Amino acid sequence: MPLQIYDTFSNEKKLFEPIDPSNVRMYVCGPTVYDFPHVGNARPVIVFDLLFRLLRRIYGNDNVTYVRNITDVDDKIITAASENNEDIKSLTERTIKFFHDDADYIGALKPTFEPKATDYINDMIDIISSLIEKDYAYVSEDNVLFSASKFSKYGQLSGKNLEEMIAGSRVEVESFKRSSSDFVLWKPSKSSEPGWDSPWGKGRPGWHIECSAMSEKLLGKNFDIHGGGQDLIFPHHENEIAQSECANNEKFANFWLHNGFVNVEGNKMSKSEGNFVTVNQLKQKYQGEVIRLAMISTHYRQPLNWTENNLIECKKTLDKWYQLISENNFSFDNEKISSEVINALEDDLNTPKAISVLHQLYKDCKSNDRNTVETFLSSANFLGMLMHTSSEWLSWGKEKLSIDEKQIELLISERKSARDNGNFDKADKIRNDLEHKGILLEDNEGKTTWRFK
């Protein structure tokens, strides 16, 4: 079936027709690099990686340009570097490596381009100058601000009027703004902060102008798809549209795609709640494909409830699939990818349906028909799974253990008995001995679980 995707701007699922089928262009907002990425950050990486794979299958590997940016100048970065008492560049370079490691871990293909904001400062200055010249922006106390009220379509992406958006969001109210809805394009830098020379003095760009400059430079003034998390709809994407369309007098992106939020065990993820989960933490306990399968088991536009039980079930599923590899000699074949899997993905990335097809194909593999087995394995591989050999998968983590899992469970049980009997010295010794062997115990609501150190 023809590819259909849900466009946030028009609030409907639409037939995707690229501007140029020989160069399908997609821009996705990437990380702001100041700390370890969390599971919420991982979701758009996986969602748009899957769309990238699908677009390449439909239009050809060489005919899709995927840009995912890195924000390496931002107030959060400045704050984190100050708190860490370290140089901003060392912080951003280290965090970019964390992000790349996590992207590899969850099986994401590398984008065509991965621009860093600091490499496009002059392009940002050019756009800002154009906006001032056209009277969409103004200078005030060394800041440059965009007048949101001058863009007649402002608010159409989020579906709210200007007053509603201001009331429902954390819009900065500063004395140098003519209106509270105006947003910063350029701000002055203190001597201790990163800054670049500009017509308005030494300063740095606002967050929104960064993506407008990078997307225009690498994809053109009008391109096919702009994506990101649902939390970016307002103000980030709303502001991108306003400044880009006012600067260029043409439509910015033809389709807007947004993935839903991630909750942890039914609750909003936050550090204050103690349920903040980084991808790096998950590496200690699960292979990356477990994370990937858990992510795509829910449709990308729906809220995702991140639970330990779901991860465990995904691990069991992948264990069975990898066991099938160990029992068969086969080769992946792009021509054998199930048409039902592709049809599901072409229906607005309906991954739950695609996974349902995989489960049925797995059952059909009991016939031991080579063609059926290769169809199943090639289809799973297309979704970014079964990327390892069976021996790599089935032996994962075992090299970290100096004792086996049964021994760990026995010691946990022995520790529980010791604690129940008030023998806390013995309980502590068991915990410390396990930690020395690379095993960390975690007590939560009367239950004890373990993970690799």
Task: Name, in order, each residue with C-beta under 8 angstroms of 337's C-beta and a sequence gap of 6 or more.
Answer: 57, 375, 378, 379, 382
- CATH for 4-259 is 3.40.50.620
48, 246 contact by CB (below 8 A)? no
pLDDT bucket at 112, cuts 50 / 70 / 90: very high
Nearest-angstrom CA–CA distance, 159 and 178: 24
Span(s) in the chain for CATH 3.40.50.620 = 4-259
Helices 308-326 and 288-296 pack at an angle, to 10 degrees, of 110
Q: Which two tokens stand for residue 122?
A: 């002059």
Q: In this predicted model, which residue has the larger pLDDT, 254 or 324?
A: 254
pTM for the whole structure? 0.86
HSE-up of 102 (CA within 13 Å, CB side)? 27
- Phi then psi for 3, rounded to 5 degrees? -70, 130
pLDDT bucket at 401, cuts 50 / 70 / 90: low
pLDDT digits (tens, 9 = 90+) for 324-377: 887 767 777 888 999 999 999 999 999 999 999 999 999 999 888 889 999 999
pLDDT digits (tens, 9 = 90+) for 34-44: 999 999 999 99
- Domain 281-396 part of CATH 3.90.800.10: no
Cα-based angle 50, 349, 374 (whole degrees, multiple of 5): 65
Span(s) in the chain for CATH 1.20.120.640 = 281-396
| Positions of E strands within 31-161 | 64-68, 137-140, 143-146
Element (H, E) at 288: helix 288-296
451, 284 contact by CB (below 8 A)? yes
Among 119-123, 181-185, 232-236, 413-417, which is the least confidently predicted range? Answer: 413-417
- Phi then psi for 120, rounded to 5 degrees? -125, 25
Q: In this predicted model, which residue has the larger pLDDT, 179 or 5?
A: 5
pLDDT digits (tens, 9 = 90+) for 289-328: 999 999 999 999 999 999 999 999 999 999 999 988 877 6
Instruction: Give the rounded percent of residues in the chain with a pLDDT score beyond 70.
Output: 93
